[in-house]
Amino acid sequence: MNARRRSLLLPGVGFVLLAPALPAAVQGGDELAPRLDRLQKAAQGDPALSPELKTALTDVAEALKKQDGTSGGAGDALAEAFAKIRFAGDFRLRHESDWHLDDRESRNRERIRLRLGAEYDVNGQIAVGARLTTGATTDENSPHQNLGETFDKKPVNLDRAYATWKPACVPGGWVTAGKFAHAFETNPVYAELVWDADVQPEGAALGWKRSGTSAGDVALVAGEYVVLDNSSSSTLESAWAFVAQASAKQKLGEKNRLVEAIGLYAYQELNPDDVNAGRFFGENNGNAGVDTTGDGVADDYASRFTIYNPFVAWENTSLSVPITVAVEYVFNPRAKNDADTGYSAGVKVGRNKSKGDWQAYYQWQVMEQDAALSNLTNDDFLFGTNYRGHLFGVRFQLLDKTELHLWSSCMRRDDLGTTTTTDSDKLQWRARVDLNIRF
């Protein structure tokens, strides 16, 4: 037998496996690659071979390709790079109606939202990510765009840009910096009383998560968010926030689970004394204001904000459909008035994961005027704070990753005489029909 060729005879296989010692003429990439491909196909199709042997043959064939240089070119490098990218996105078509409004006509509008994001694994510990979204650059709460503007093009903006480090020496730990998603555990019925899900903070955050402890699955998150950077001004004052949350998920037998969390939002220098003095307060959506210059126009928040935000949710799966009950509390001890509290109680029945699923929910909620910072609270209601009322809706999974969401809110002001409108005590309504498609 030729010393430069090694044979491996396999029961039930009528071929010879050629090793790397093949003559150079045979090892030329154009000849070796198709032979190895035929080897793999023959091995996989032979019923006499065990699964272990089939796997071993495939591994050897792939190794030979790489060693011979037939599978390590630019195409494979590109394929390997794409394999490290995770894409995610969604598209929404929305009809929205508002009626029984103070000092305004009823309104109907059609809207769209498109988001596309990706995350790339640089190595086993570091990833970078970004997301594009529709929406105005000056509106942190809403990525939606109205239809019917004489066919004008819609703006698309950078919604996220961040790097995440998961150090190997700290299992379950992570650090993220840039512009990223707010990483708190949230109320599973409705979660935007204090922080709108569309608001992407900027700064840095870190966290740690561990499963199977005596307290269940536990997580800690802390971050410092840059709200308004005025470092180039003469006063060098910037608005910022420190945030933190501790949460736990505990199993109570086979059919019950308890989710508990307490969060903290501590804001500083929200209205710096410089040329940008009115920038953040100018987006106030319900908080009490005060006139600091004597010109008769409110130019600063009457209160300061350090917000405590605990919630508890109980989930039960003993019936044919799951049931979730949740209560949430909001308290701002730095409020300069007695409008410092918010709370909600809600229930959710059903699931919305696969085709044919349905889910219904209801929540009662109250948010006093200075319980939370209204700039960053939900934009689903007609008021950011200073309201009480109802939220309810139904979700239908028409197809996998395709959902029809019918929902409505009816809210009245909690405290009258706080705005420049007629400030009536009537219920004001908002209804929406959303078609949500995930990809």
Least confident of 180-194, 217-231, 329-343: 217-231
Q: Percentage of residues in the chain with pLDDT exceeding 70?
A: 85
pLDDT at 5 over 50: no
E strand or H helix that includes residue 54? helix 51-68
d(CA 258, CA 252) in angstroms, rounded, equals 7
For the ranges 9-18, 37-46, 269-278, 329-338, the maximum mean pLDDT occurs at 329-338
Residue 203: how many CA atoms within 13 Å on its side-chain side?
Answer: 20
Query: HSE of 379 in the Cβ direction (CA atoms, 13 Å)?
Result: 14
Segment 267-275 mean pLDDT: 74
Helix, strand, coil % over all residues of the chain, rounded to 5: 15, 45, 45
The tally of CA atoms less than 13 A away on the side-chain side of residue 187 is: 30
| 61, pLDDT greater than 60 | yes
Looking at residue 103, what is its pLDDT? Answer: 78
Domain boundaries, the chain: 1-83, 84-438
pLDDT, position 93: 98
**Cα Rg for the chain, rounded, in angstroms?**
29
Q: Say what the pLDDT of residue 15 is.
A: 32
Consecutive H or E run containing 27: helix 24-27
Question: Pick from 328, 407, 430, 308: which is nearest to 361 by CA?
Answer: 407
What pLDDT is stored for residue 72 in this prediction? Answer: 54
CATH topology of domain 84-438: Porin (2.40.160)
Q: Is the dihedral of CA 397, 401, 403, 409 positive or negative?
A: positive
Distance CA 391, CA 397 (A): 20
Residue 199 has pLDDT above 90, yes or no: yes
User: At residue 98, does pLDDT exceed 60?
Assistant: yes
In angstroms, what CA-CA distances link 213 with 173, 187, 248?
16, 22, 10
79 against 182, higher pLDDT: 182
The average pLDDT across 349-355 equals: 95
Using CA atoms, how far apart are residues 21 and 27, in angstroms rounded to an integer? 9
pLDDT band at 28 (very low <50, low <70, confident <90, very high): very low
Q: Tell me: pLDDT of 2 over 50.
A: no
Of 144, 135, 162, the residue nearest 92 (C-alpha): 144
Percent of the chain having pLDDT more than 90? 66
Written as six digits, the tokens of 138 are 């000056």
Give, rounded to a whole angstrom, the gap between the first and last alpha carbons of the chain: 57
